[in-house]
């Protein structure tokens, strides 16, 4: 009988459930645990293979009759913002993003709850408690950080930190070949800033500044309005059956 090493990751399959993106579809996911000293390398490998991370779980769609979910990554070194994206950058020039160790705070949770209430009140995360949020942020064995965005203060050029009210937050994994945006949220009262777009643009800059070629955005689903924004960041690659391929959808 073949003996498998105990450190080999074990994969599991969820039961079918209602798809949150496409009507009349059922979703299933294959998942494994990211724990121990090998977790960062495994997270890199699985993310490059189309998985996403949530706390200490890596998962990807494994639907029986649908292949609509496509992994997307921006080619950071080649990226040039469009005219509308340049306007978003100018609109948010008063913000400073500061990266910290992945530790939750009550201020983050208050913003998180406000975001969910206004943007995703019917979603599966709407009932998350402060303990659930803390687990999402700090239950990680991989190289992750939390980036807080605040308005620029009079001494930000010295401290490198923003000051005042928390406007947006991004939970981000640093991988060998890029940055993976695990989850982000922002103040719904600041809708005029287009903060969702701004956070992605900022991550492209951060990746480029440290010489990493990719920003991973998770899944794009053709036909889903929730996911349409992801293809606005060109050039990008999509994970296809033959591997990562340059794609110009949305140009």
pLDDT in tens, 15-32: 999 988 888 889 999 999
**Dist. CA 174–CA 52, nearest whole Å:** 13
Through-space distance between the first and last CA atoms of the chain, rounded to whole angstroms: 54
From the candidate CATH numbers 3.40.630.30, 3.30.750.24, 3.90.650.10, 3.30.1490.190, the one assigned to the domain spanning 73-247? 3.40.630.30
pLDDT in tens, 33-87: 999 999 999 999 999 999 999 999 999 999 988 999 999 999 999 999 999 999 9
> DSSP secondary-structure letter at 127?
T
What's the confidence (pLDDT) of residue 160?
Answer: 77
pLDDT in tens, 204-218: 999 999 999 999 999
What's the confidence (pLDDT) of residue 121?
Answer: 61
What's the confidence (pLDDT) of residue 249?
Answer: 65
Who wins on pLDDT, 162 or 245?
A: 245
Percent of the chain with pLDDT over 90: 78
3-state helix, strand, coil in the chain (%, to 5): 30, 35, 35
Residue 122 CB coordination number (10 Å): 7
**Dist. CA 51–CA 59, nearest whole Å:** 5
pTM of the predicted structure, to 2 decimals: 0.92
> Which residue matches tokens 């994994």?
173
The CA-atom distances, in angstroms, between 95 and each of 70, 168, 193 are: 32, 10, 11
What's the confidence (pLDDT) of residue 224?
Answer: 85
> Which residue matches tokens 């969910």?
116
Nearest to 184 by CA among 197, 238, 192, 61: 197
Q: Length of the chain in residues, anyone?
A: 251
What's the confidence (pLDDT) of residue 8?
Answer: 82
Domain boundaries, the chain: 12-69, 73-247
What's the confidence (pLDDT) of residue 123?
Answer: 65
CB 189 within 8 A of CB 87: no
Cα–chain-centroid distance for residue 133? 15
């Amino acid at each position: 009988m073949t003996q498998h090493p105990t450190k080999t990751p074990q994969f599991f399959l969820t039961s079918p459930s209602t798809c949150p993106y496409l009507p009349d579809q059922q979703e299933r996911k294959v998942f494994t645990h990211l724990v121990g000293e090998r977790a960062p390398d495994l997270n890199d490998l699985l993310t490059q293979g189309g998985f996403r991370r949530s706390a200490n779980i890596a998962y990807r769609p494994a639907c029986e009759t649908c292949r609509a979910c496509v992994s997307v990554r921006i080619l950071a070194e080649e990226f040039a913002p469009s005219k509308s994206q340049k306007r978003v950058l100018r609109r948010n020039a008063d913000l400073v993003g500061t990266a910290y160790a992945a530790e939750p705070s009550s201020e983050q949770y208050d913003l998180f709850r406000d975001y969910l209430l206004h943007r995703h009140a019917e979603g599966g995360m709407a009932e998350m408690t402060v303990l659930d949020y803390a687990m999402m942020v700090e239950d990680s064995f991989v190289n992750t950080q939390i980036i807080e965005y605040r308005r620029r203060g009079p001494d930000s050029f010295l401290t490198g930190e923003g000051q005042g009210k928390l406007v947006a937050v991004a939970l981000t994994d640093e991988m060998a070949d890029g940055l993976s945006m695990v989850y982000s949220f922002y103040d719904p009262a600041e809708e005029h800033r287009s903060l969702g777009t701004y956070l992605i643009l900022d991550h492209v800059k951060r990746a480029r500044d440290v010489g990493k070629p990719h920003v991973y955005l998770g899944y794009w689903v053709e036909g889903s309005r929730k996911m349409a924004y992801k293809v606005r960041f060109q050039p990008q690659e999509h994970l296809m059956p033959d591997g990562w391929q340059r794609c110009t959808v949305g140009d």
